[in-house]
Amino acid sequence: MDYIFHLTTLSSIFAILAIGLNLVMGYTGLLSVAHAAFYGIGAYASAILMRSQGMNFFVAMGLGVLLSMGVALLIGLVLSRFDGDYYALASLGFNVIVFGIMLNWEELTRGPLGIPGIGKPKLGDHTIFSNMEYFFFTLFFLIIIYLLARLITRSSFGRTLKGIREDETALQVFGYKTVYFKLAVFVIAAGMAAVAGSLYGSYITYIDPKTFIVMESIMIISMIILGGLANNRGAVIGATFFVLLPELLRFAGFPPDIAAHMRQIVYGVLLILLMMYRPQGLFGEYKL
């Protein structure tokens, strides 16, 4: 039972990541390969604040979200000038740079050693410790993020994003400053990723730079492509599938290191097949 709650907690964390990225990729049509960077910034910021300043989880998470959004604002100012392949490549570059900083700024991040012993969140006097409690705690955040994403995508702001995706020039003709919209959605998504990062660090109690590599960004992209672009429910389903798949492979009796490679092969083949036969994903409303 504990194990099931472990999996559902991880699924919820990745669902938060997927929902955030879906706003950028599915609704606005920008292929961002930097999502794991903001996930990492959130995780590192709250872990460091909790450990060195003894801060409360919620305060640390809030500051992590703010930091992540601030960084996203700076990066986004550059990124919003691009679209298509160049957007993908430049955002990938930022992921590599953020990873490099996590790995090399040892005074702050302890480099490749990572940060162990991250505290659990406290509600009043009660520490959220068991897997079951942590799952409901994470689910609470997932629901908030989900509702927030729904609110955004159904608002006029969300419709403008879809407009940018379909025809950016046309919107510019109508007088929309599309750069600001692209920037805003990027910053919002980075904030959501930071929430996931704080939850992840506190749940696993240990983080290291390897968790936030480019491959992780690619995995989140795969999740929303599978679940369906521009569909919030699809993002949750895609994230759940990608968390459960390696467990299924393990149950099928593959040893862990072989299962890890098998998982990657399945991801890869899945991406190819989706692109060839269903580029909008399972429940998607938008084709790349």
CB nearer other proteins, residue 33 or residue 194: 33
The rounded distance, in Å, linking the Cα atoms of 16 and 7 is 14
Euclidean distance between CA atoms 173 and 127, whole angstroms: 54
d(CA 215, CA 19): 18
Q: Are 94 and 34 in contact (CB under 8 A)?
A: yes
Q: Residue type for 117, please?
A: G
Q: Which is nearer to other proteins, 97 or 143 (CB)?
A: 97
Could you give the CA distance from residue 242 to residue 244 in angstroms, rounded to a whole number? 6
The residue (of 24 and 142) whose beta carbon lies closer to other proteins is 24
**Least separation in angstroms between CB 166 and other proteins:** 13
210 binds other proteins (CB under 8 A): no
Q: Closest Cα to residue 46, out of 101, 124, 121?
A: 121
Distance CA(252)–CA(198), nearest Å, equals 32
Q: Could you give the string, one character per residue 78-117, with x where binding to other proteins holds by CB under 8 A and - elsewhere?
A: x--xx-xxx-xxx-xxx-xx--xx-xx-------------
Scanning 53-61, 154-162, 241-249, 258-266 for contacts with other proteins by CB under 8 A, the matching segment is 258-266
Question: Site for other proteins (CB under 8 A): which residue of 233, 262, 282, 285?
Answer: 262
- In the bound complex, what is the minimum distance in angstroms from residue 129's beta carbon to other proteins? 35
Q: Per residue in 154-188, is it b (16+ CB within 10 Å) or e — as a string?
A: eeeebebbbbbbeebeebeeeeeebbebbbbbbbb
Report the amino acid identity of residue 221. Answer: I
Q: Per CB under 8 A, does 271 bind other proteins?
A: yes
Amino acid at 7: L
Contacting range for other proteins; rule: CB under 8 A; set: 4-12, 114-122, 126-134, 218-226: 218-226
For residue 123, give the H/E element and its range. Answer: strand 122-123
Q: Which is nearer to other proteins, 7 or 103 (CB)?
A: 103
Q: How far is the CB of 190 from other proteins (least distance, A)?
A: 17
What's the DSSP call for residue 115? B
Q: What are phi and psi of 122, to 5 degrees?
A: -120, 135
DSSP state of 210: G
CB 60 within 8 A of CB 50: yes
Instruction: Supply the minimum distance, in Å, between the C-beta of residue 179 and other proteins.
Output: 14
Q: Cα-Cα-Cα-Cα dihedral of 39, 44, 47, 50, to 10°?
A: -110
Site map 124..163 versus other proteins, x via CB under 8 A? ----------------------------------------
73 binds other proteins (CB under 8 A): no
| 272 interacts with other proteins by CB under 8 A | yes
Nearer to other proteins, 73 or 288 (CB): 288
Q: Would you say 50 or 71 has its CB closer to other proteins?
A: 71
Q: Is-contact 192 238, C-beta < 8 A?
A: no
| Least distance between other proteins and beta carbon 78 (Å) | 6
Within positions 25 to 44, which residues make up the interface with other proteins, using CB under 8 A? 31
Contacts with other proteins by CB under 8 A lie at: 31, 78, 81-82, 84-86, 88-90, 92-94, 96-97, 100-101, 103-104, 214, 218, 221, 225, 257-258, 261-265, 267-272, 274-276, 279, 287-288
